[in-house]
Amino acid sequence: MRAILFDLDGTLLDTAEDIRASLNETLAAFGYPPVSGEQTRAYVGNGARRLLERALPAGADTDAALDDFRVRYASSAHLFTRPYEGVEQTLLRLKEKYRLAVVTNKPQEAADSVVAKFFPGVFDYVGGDGAFPCKPDPSHARYAALVLRAAPADCLFVGDGETDAVTAKRAGMRFAGALWGYRSRETLAAAGATVFCERFSDLEKICENS
């Protein structure tokens, strides 16, 4: 194995509370009720547009709300966002052996912002929503592999959602399901996952055995 691709929200970082704060500011600006933390975690995973579609009532102007949310979240100080336990130390050890990338459905400007804040200099490629269709379309994952100079079969995709599991399969990559994130083991298994991580540090052993 030559490279590891990571989802971001729910895999590397717990971002739900900052996403909820910006989302609720947008909803309030348009006169709609707020969403809970549980709802936010359920809505995350398919990109900002899908997040807004899930949070808005039927008939709402999704485009206008999406533009508002993108501005609010991109300028967020990410006060509540935190790396999951063991992420920072494990990433530094993995970086000694493998090329590392982030492939997320988060807007590019927001992805760049949080990665620069929490993982400066760690990743060889950070890709968000914009140039490629959102996951589970595999084109962005395949492009990341190209940037990392690794064949898809030599890549491990790590994510907490069913979207990530399907992306990995379509891209011809191996997949490891992160059980500390926003989806359950059952949800990941139903999407085809067979390898799971209880802790982020489990990735080292999974990589060694791949």
Q: Residue 38 belongs to what domain range? A: 16-74
Q: What is the pLDDT of residue 122?
A: 98
Measured CA to CA, the distance from residue 116 to residue 26 in angstroms comes to: 25
Q: 74, 102, 119: which is the final residue of a domain?
A: 74
Q: What is the pLDDT of residue 209?
A: 83
Total-model pTM: 0.94
Q: 74, 93, 114: which is the final residue of a domain?
A: 74
Q: What is the pLDDT of residue 137?
A: 97
| Selected catalytic residue, list 7, 18, 154, 160 | 7
Closest C-alpha to 76, from 44, 32, 117? 117
Q: What is the pLDDT of residue 138?
A: 98
pLDDT in tens, 93-114: 999 999 999 999 999 999 999 9
Structure tokens at 205: 């052993």
State in Å, rounded, how far the first CA of the chain is from the last one.
Answer: 7
Q: Binning pLDDT at 50, 70 and 90, where does residue 210 land?
A: confident
pLDDT in tens, 156-167: 999 999 999 999
Q: How many CA atoms lie within 13 A of 150 on its CB side?
A: 26
Whether residue 29 sits in one domain with residue 131:
no
Q: What is the pLDDT of residue 50?
A: 95
pLDDT in tens, 112-121: 999 999 999 9
Amino acid at 90: T
**Helix orientation angle between 162-171 and 139-147, rounded to the nearest 10 degrees:** 60
**Spatial CB neighbours of 140, under 8 Å, sequence gap ≥ 6:** 103, 127, 131, 132, 133
pLDDT in tens, 46-101: 999 999 999 999 999 999 999 999 999 988 889 999 999 999 999 999 999 999 99
Measured CA to CA, the distance from residue 22 to residue 24 in angstroms comes to: 5
Closest C-alpha to 164, from 176, 153, 154? 176
Q: Is the peptide bond before 34 cis (omega within 30 degrees of 0)?
A: no
Closest C-alpha to 3, from 195, 192, 143, 183? 143
Whether residue 48 sits in one domain with residue 10:
no
CATH number at residue 56: 1.10.150
Q: Binning pLDDT at 50, 70 and 90, where does residue 134 land?
A: very high
Q: Is 7 a catalytic residue?
A: yes
Whether residue 175 sits in one domain with residue 151:
yes
pLDDT averaged over every residue in the chain: 96
Q: What is the pLDDT of residue 61?
A: 97
Q: Identify the weakest region by mean pLDDT among 11-15, 19-23, 195-199, 205-209.
A: 205-209
**198 C-beta neighbours (distance < 10 Å), count:** 10
CATH number at residue 165: 3.40.50.1000
Count of domains in the chain?
2
From the number of C-beta atoms within 10 Å of its C-beta (0-12, 13-18, 19+), residue 26 rates as buried
Q: 25, 49, 74: which is the final residue of a domain?
A: 74
The position carrying tokens 């398919």 is: 46
